[in-house]
């Protein structure tokens, strides 16, 4: 994989079929594996996912149809290797809400991200438990949640600041042998005020 991130921005009005294809859980997993580990064959991905090679081959072809993956350089003529075309996929939430079926697709994609977080947490804990990660990772790793009061503009600025800082640190640590792949999940989900509870007074 190239070290420089490349982003594909999907337009729900024009790329509705691609977005729908991406909501399949195995396709998201396959795309994530190719992004994390680099080019692989359908058989190699089948071994990682526990699926049959026929299944992974089919879903890779679907991903290729919508330009999420492409054929990579082959080691020999008997194999067919695949690579991710982009390191990031994004879209406009506003456009998703306007497009027919966009809200449902957005909800599905977000829930797939939560499922990925659960799998990543289980793997992280197992890696620490079994010594595959240095104990230096115990302190900085973890999950946190907070409830700041922000305007839409401030939330947008927060997203941009996180992205900029992450790119800066990634570039700084690119050649450090201690660097490991880190799953970073961020969420900014505004909540409307909850209605006051309807409490009836004592009967007179």
pLDDT in tens, 25-55: 899 999 999 998 999 999 999 999 999 999 9
What's the predicted TM-score (pTM) here? 0.77
| pLDDT digits 0-9 by tens, 82-91 | 999 998 899 9
- 3-state SS assignment for residue 148: coil
């Amino acid at each position: 994989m190239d070290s420089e991130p490349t982003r594909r921005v999907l337009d729900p009005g024009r790329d509705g079929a691609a977005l729908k294809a991406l909501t399949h859980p195995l396709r998201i997993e396959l795309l994530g594996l190719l992004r994390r580990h680099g080019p692989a064959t359908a058989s190699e991905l089948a071994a990682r996912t526990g699926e049959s090679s026929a299944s992974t081959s089919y879903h890779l072809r679907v991903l290729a149809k919508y330009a999420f993956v492409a054929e990579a350089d082959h080691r020999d003529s008997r194999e067919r290797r695949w690579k991710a075309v982009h390191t990031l996929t994004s879209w406009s939430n506003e456009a998703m809400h306007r497009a027919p079926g966009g809200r449902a697709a957005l909800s599905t994609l977000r829930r797939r991200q939560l499922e990925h977080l659960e799998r990543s947490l289980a793997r992280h804990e197992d890696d620490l438990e079994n010594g595959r990660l240095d104990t230096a990772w115990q302190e900085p790793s973890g999950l946190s949640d907070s409830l700041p009061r922000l305007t839409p503009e401030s939330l947008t600025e927060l997203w941009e600041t996180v992205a900029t800082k992450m790119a800066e640190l990634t570039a700084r640590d690119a050649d450090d042998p201690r660097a490991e792949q880190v799953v970073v999940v961020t969420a900014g989900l505004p909540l409307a005020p909850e209605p006051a509870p309807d409490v009836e007074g004592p009967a007179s």
